[in-house]
DNA sequence: TTGTATGCGTTATCAA
DNA sequence: TTGATAACGCATACAA
């Protein structure tokens, strides 16, 4: 590897002082036109790139934002990340992506690394911030981090942690779906997927049960089949639900992944969706469009989530005042997986 | 934000010199047991985390690897990244993820940023490294970068750039598929998706045509319908192909995304896959499993690609000798989207 | 084994 | 407007 040039090299070649080179680089102070041009020419000629590490040490900003999320192969997180990166890039920040796989110890490790690397902000989604009951040690760790680095939680909340938050109104999203299904004539609805104890599940299930009661919709206990948030879980839960003698006319899924699995399972069992049974998802990842039928779902507005999360940490990093809680609106996205209920059920 | 402590603070509190604290931190030199324990206690008590920026400046390693790829929402790249990160983490590296969206100017920008940030290595996939005909300016830029940073190209190659490469034997993968279809009795096969001028397309199309000739398989011109690498493109190309009067009995797709689209399009037109027509993909992303039918494809062994790419740059960073070209084997993954050809076609 | 002094490459401060 | 000098926080050569 070729040894990199420094401002000293440039300065010497341009016949100016290192400070002048630095001034040209940052644009933070006046430099005479001729010297500036001379310096710029030398920089260009040598393809000089300033050492961001050295710069960071003195400016105390790394121009990096850490993003901790469970799994980037999940299109929901990938889409949020993509937009976050896109916006961050426009502000001059790069993103360190940390997949925690939902494991607490990996989260802890990454939190430590990100603090050491002096990132200018941390965006965290999934894992501990998603536990309905926050574990104190997890909270303490995050609090410690928050004292050093701007921190925002996406779609989560930690008891005892007064962090900034960007979140979706998941309950409202569920209500939108229930309302939609009700209007289609559904009076018997099931709910599959999700892990109890995770807010992404608990909020939705509660909203579902509350809405069901309000609308006079029946939901038998055996129609509620938790599992996890994966496609496989959707398959398993749907299979379990469909093995009941008495079936609902529609099934809501905790997220699009489980809805994908539910669709796959139902189809395999010979059910025609939506004629025999309606299915809904949650998130509006692009995969819902490629299925036949495309899955009716609720959009979390992933782009806005990603963008807002970056906005929060960057503003905090710049010492600006930022709204503590930012709620992103959901919207119902009607596709082809729900039909008017014409069954005798 | 609380001001971070430094080794000086720790040193003072522990009653030792900063160098002793540093020695405890790095483990690079002997420290008496009692002092070491004292220092460790103070570090722990204060939750001190050394400033990686300052450390990097002197050690000349940032412990970061830059990854430039087109689009992380594509599960192929997401899976490669995930495994790369997993392995990198075990070696003490973090990953900066840069989505280029296939745009050359974004690639250039990120190349510059990664060099400035003094990453210990760059892994690049897609975009310019995938052009069948390398543009000289692109190559020059990469050559310039390679002089400063260990660099590895994933599934690509640049004319005039003597870089390290990790790649799949895509031609062989296609041959495996053709051979498989031939054995199923298919003698008339189409090929959809992909952009000419991109190696990911050109290699496969050539391999397909060569194999077809070898096996005596018919492939009419109108059965070759390029497009791009997206799901939508798969839909469009398949629709175009299926609008022919005379149809092939099987259709190969440039990748799984287009196969997904092809399946969707075929199903919508009333074709039953695989009974009416067989479809194959390429990559073996997890989405091929959730479709009904699951799509027969070729595995690129994404995990091994990610891991190997990290291995290459890390070894280069450590001054080790590394094999210039590493070919990752493909493997045929038979699922449900291909049937024995029993048609009269 | 320990401490002092120096350097990494840049920006910031201050005096000229 | 410019340059000399210090400072960022750590690791390391060298001296003790």
What confidence tens digit (pLDDT) does each residue in B18-77 have? 999 999 999 999 999 999 999 999 999 999 999 999 999 999 999 999 999 999 999 999
Query: Does the CB of A55 fall within 7 Å of any strand C atom?
Result: yes
The residues in A 247-286 lying below 8 A from B, measured between CB atoms, are 260-261, 264, 267-268, 286
pLDDT score recorded for residue A259? 98
Mean pLDDT of A45-50: 97
Number of H helices, E strands in chain A: 13, 12
| Neighbouring residues of B135: CB distance < 8 A, sequence distance ≥ 6 | B128
Mean pLDDT of A222-235: 97
Query: Does the CB of B26 fall within 7 Å of any strand C atom?
Result: no
Q: Based on the domain organization, do A282 and A323 belong to the same domain?
A: no
Is the Cβ of B294 closer than 8 Å to some Cβ of chain A? no
Q: Is A337 domain-assigned? A: no
Q: In this complex, which of A53, A81, A82 lies closest to B118 when CB atoms are compared?
A: A53
CA–CA dist A60, A119 (Å, integer): 10
- State both tokens at B66: 């830059």
Nucleotide nearest B18, from its CA to each C1': C3
Closest C-alpha among A71, A76, A70, A72 to residue A287: A76
Q: Based on the domain organization, do A108 and A211 belong to the same domain?
A: no
pLDDT score recorded for residue B287? 94
**Separation in Å: D8 C1' and A95 CA:** 23
Provide the domain count of chain A: 3
Q: Based on the domain organization, do B147 and B223 belong to the same domain?
A: no
Residue A342 confidence (pLDDT) above 90: no
To test the contact with chain B by mutation, choose from A7, A85, A94 the residue with the greatest count of B C-beta atoms within 10 A, namely A94
Supply the pTM of this predicted model.
0.96
Q: Based on the domain organization, do B242 and B194 belong to the same domain?
A: yes
- pLDDT above 90: percentage of residues in chain B: 97
- pLDDT above 90: percentage of residues in chain A: 97
Interval B130-158: pLDDT, tens: 999 999 999 999 999 999 999 999 999 99
Residue A264 confidence (pLDDT) above 90: yes
Residue A244 confidence (pLDDT) above 70: yes
Q: Is B338 domain-assigned? A: no
Q: Is B86 domain-assigned? A: yes
Q: Is A83 domain-assigned? A: yes
Q: Based on the domain organization, do B151 and B185 belong to the same domain?
A: no
Footprint of strand D on the protein (CB under 7 A): A 15-20, 23, 29-32, 34-36, 54, 57-58, 60; B 3-4, 6-8, 18-19, 21-23, 25-26, 28, 50-51, 54-55, 57-59
CB B63 within 8 A of CB A60: no
Closest C-alpha among B213, B211, B242 to residue B225: B242
The residues in B 16-75 lying below 8 A from A, measured between CB atoms, are 47, 49-54, 56-57, 62, 64, 71-73, 75
pLDDT score recorded for residue B218? 97
CA–CA dist B48, A69 (Å, integer): 25
pLDDT score recorded for residue B1? 86
Residue B343 confidence (pLDDT) above 90: no
CA–CA dist A66, A117 (Å, integer): 9
Tell me which chain B residues have a C-beta less than 8 angstroms from the C-beta of A149: 1
- State both tokens at B118: 């003094």
> What pLDDT band is residue B344 in, cutting at 50, 70 and 90?
low
Mean pLDDT of B284-308: 95
CATH number at residue B14: 1.10.260.40
Phi, psi angle pair for A109, to nearest 5°: -60, -45
> What pLDDT band is residue A143 in, cutting at 50, 70 and 90?
very high
**Containing structural domain, residue B273:** 170-300
CA–CA dist A181, A306 (Å, integer): 30
pLDDT score recorded for residue B6? 97
Q: Dihedral sign for Cα A75, A76, A77, A79, please.
A: positive
Distance of residue A292 Cα from the nearest chain B Cα, in angstroms: 7
Q: Based on the domain organization, do A93 and A126 belong to the same domain?
A: yes
Residue A29 confidence (pLDDT) above 80: yes
Tell me which chain B residues have a C-beta less than 8 angstroms from the C-beta of A47: 144
- Residues written for chain B: 345
CA–CA dist A142, A137 (Å, integer): 9
Q: Based on the domain organization, do A289 and A256 belong to the same domain?
A: yes
Q: Is A212 domain-assigned? A: yes
Q: In this complex, which of A54, A81, A99 lies closest to B85 when CB atoms are compared?
A: A99
Q: What ranges make up the beta strands (E) of B88-144? A: 94-99, 121-125
> What pLDDT band is residue B342 in, cutting at 50, 70 and 90?
confident
Q: Based on the domain organization, do A174 and A247 belong to the same domain?
A: yes
Interval B158-216: pLDDT, tens: 999 999 999 999 999 999 999 999 999 999 999 999 999 999 999 999 999 999 999 99
> Residue A254 burial (CB < 10 Å; 0-12/13-18/19+)?
buried
pLDDT score recorded for residue A1? 86
Is the Cβ of A96 closer than 8 Å to some Cβ of chain B? yes
pLDDT score recorded for residue A344? 64
Tell me which chain B residues have a C-beta less than 8 angstroms from the C-beta of A289: 231
- pLDDT above 70: percentage of residues in chain A: 99
**Separation in Å: D3 C1' and B306 CA:** 49
Q: What angle do CA B275, B280, B282 make, to 5 degrees?
A: 165
Q: Based on the domain organization, do A295 and A199 belong to the same domain?
A: yes
- State both tokens at A140: 């303490």
Other beta carbons within 10 Å of A206: 13
């Amino acid at each position: 590897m070729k040894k990199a040039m420094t401002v000293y090299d440039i300065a010497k070649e341009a016949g100016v002082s290192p400070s002048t080179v630095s001034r040209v680089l940052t644009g933070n102070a006046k430099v005479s036109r001729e010297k500036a041009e001379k310096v710029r020419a030398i920089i260009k000629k040598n393809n000089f790139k300033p050492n961001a590490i050295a710069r960071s040490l003195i400016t105390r900003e790394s121009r990096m934002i850490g993003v901790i999320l469970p799994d980037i192969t999940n299109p929901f997180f990938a889409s949020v990340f993509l937009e976050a990166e896109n916006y961050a890039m426009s502000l001059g920040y790069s993103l360190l992506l940390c997949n925690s796989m939902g494991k607490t110890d990996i989260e802890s490790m990454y939190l430590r690394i990100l603090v050491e690397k002096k990132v200018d902000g941390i965006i965290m989604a999934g894992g501990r911030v998603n536990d309905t009951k926050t574990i104190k040690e997890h909270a303490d760790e995050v609090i410690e981090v928050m004292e050093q680095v701007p921190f925002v939680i996406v779609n989560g909340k930690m008891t005892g942690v007064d962090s900034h938050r960007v979140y979706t109104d998941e309950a409202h999203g569920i209500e939108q779906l229930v309302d939609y299904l009700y209007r289609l004539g559904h009076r018997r609805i099931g709910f599959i997927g999700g892990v109890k104890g995770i807010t992404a599940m608990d909020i939705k299930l509660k909203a579902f049960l509350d809405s069901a009661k309000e609308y006079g919709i029946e939901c038998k206990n055996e129609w509620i089949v938790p599992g996890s948030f994966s496609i496989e879980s959707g398959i398993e839960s749907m299979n379990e639900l469909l093995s009941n003698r008495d079936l609902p006319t529609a099934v809501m899924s905790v997220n699009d992944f489980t809805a994908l699995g539910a669709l796959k399972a139902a189809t395999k069992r010979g059910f025609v969706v939506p004629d025999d049974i309606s299915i809904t998802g949650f998130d509006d990842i692009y995969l819902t469009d490629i299925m036949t039928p495309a899955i009716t779902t609720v959009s979390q507005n992933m782009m806005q989530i990603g963008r807002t999360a970056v906005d929060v940490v960057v503003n905090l990093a710049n010492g600006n005042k930022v709204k503590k809680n930012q709620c992103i609106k959901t919207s119902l996205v009607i596709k082809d997986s729900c039909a008017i209920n014409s069954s005798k059920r």
